[in-house]
Structure 1
């Protein structure tokens, strides 16, 4: 939580400083590509108010993130998604709006590029979120078990060295390649005292299954505690039979 709070405050400060420097101190060189434009275009953009409005956009975005910051300290599960969604939609939507202040000969091209980028980014975020929230199952087969869904795979029972049912999940320290959401952790993380591990975790839904393989460590559970216990029993039985 502390690390996330520091990141949010850093983003707010960066947006505020950039917006203030551009809008109040005429730091137009901070705008990407502005300094490399012909002087005539720079002067026209300034007359149109493009840099000033861009600076204002950054300041308003910072204020918006600041207003949403208290959500992190509530029981609302999707605070992070709301904050990120606001930043993406407000900033990219604002950039599309600002194309009307571009120099006329570049206005259409700028609008097409910014709109296409908006669609690509928002579409990518929505698709990633959709697949991230998709469920997973632990399926026991004759000689192997499979975890379905994103980051899932299939492993042989003979590679299992131990299976344990835990009432408390060890501390997850770092996400290396995965999805960390308020209610879900899925993918590759570092876990205290266990190192690099593959997680399929519904947060706050004890118990948890710890599967240690010859070359991998896996933590998995289901929202339903009884389903988690059933997975554990099925996997333990299969693992014992292959020893």
Structure 2
């Protein structure tokens, strides 16, 4: 949590400093491509207020992010998503607005490019986020069990060398390839004491958690409903016992 707040604060301060330098110190060279424009275009942009508006946009974005930072210290679950979502929407939306202050012969193109960027980036992130929050299940079969959804896979019972029901989840130290959200983690993570682990569909703060050693990678899984998690554990245990008889 502290690391996330530090990152958000750093980005916010960076926007504020850059915005202040551009807006009040008139260092317009910090705006991408401004110094490469013909001198006549630079003068026209300054007269139109293009660089000044850009500086103000950076300032407002940084200040807004700092205003939202306390959400991380409250019990608000989606604080990080809200802070970065605010940043993206304001910056990309602001770029569309600032296009009206472009030089006349580039205004239409600038508006079109900014609008496309807005819908592609915001739409893409929204789609990925929604897909990441999709439901999942553990399906118990005769000879194997399967975890459905993103990063899901199927394992044979005879590959299981250890299974345990844990009341506390070991600390995840690094995300290798996966989705790490405030309420949900799934994918490949490094887990303290277990090395490189396949951390599948973990609902945070909803113990217990099932630990399964299947092959060379540990698996951790649970459901938001503890009774469902315990049911999965009992079903897999029963299948393993039947297979060993």
Residue pairs, 1:121-132, within 5 angstroms? 121-132=121-132
Q: Report the TM-score when normalising by structure 1.
A: 0.96
Distance 1:224 1:57 in 2: 44
Aligned to 2:222: 221
Partner deviation per Cα, 1:102-141 (whole Å, 9 max, x = no partner): 1111111111111011001111111111111111111111
Distance 1:164 1:34 in 2: 61
Moved over 6 A (4+): none
Q: Report the TM-score when normalising by structure 2.
A: 0.95
Partner deviation per Cα, 1:144-191 (whole Å, 9 max, x = no partner): 211001111112222222111100011112222222212111222211
Distance 1:80 1:151 in 2: 23
Aligned residues: 243
Residue pairs, 1:23-172, within 5 angstroms? 23-172=23-172
Aligned to 1:21: 21
SS at match of 1:22: helix
Distance 2:26 2:19 in 1: 10
Distance 1:242 1:213 in 2: 15
Distance 1:231 1:98, change over 3 A: same
Gaps of 5+ in 2: none
What displacement does 1:24 show? 1.7
Q: Mean Cα displacement is larger for which, 160-169 or 231-240?
A: 231-240
What displacement does 1:195 show? 1.7
Distance 1:164 1:185 in 2: 19
Partner deviation per Cα, 1:85-111 (whole Å, 9 max, x = no partner): 111111111110000001111111111
What displacement does 1:84 show? 1.5
Distance 1:198 1:84 in 2: 27
SS at match of 2:174: strand
What displacement does 1:241 show? 3.6
Distance 1:240 1:37, change over 3 A: farther
Residue pairs, 1:187-226, within 5 angstroms? 187-199=187-199, 200-226=201-227
Partner deviation per Cα, 1:195-243 (whole Å, 9 max, x = no partner): 2222211111110001112221211100110100011111122233445
Gaps of 5+ in 1: none
SS at match of 1:92: helix
Distance 1:142 1:233 in 2: 14
Distance 1:85 1:60 in 2: 14
Distance 2:109 2:242 in 1: 66
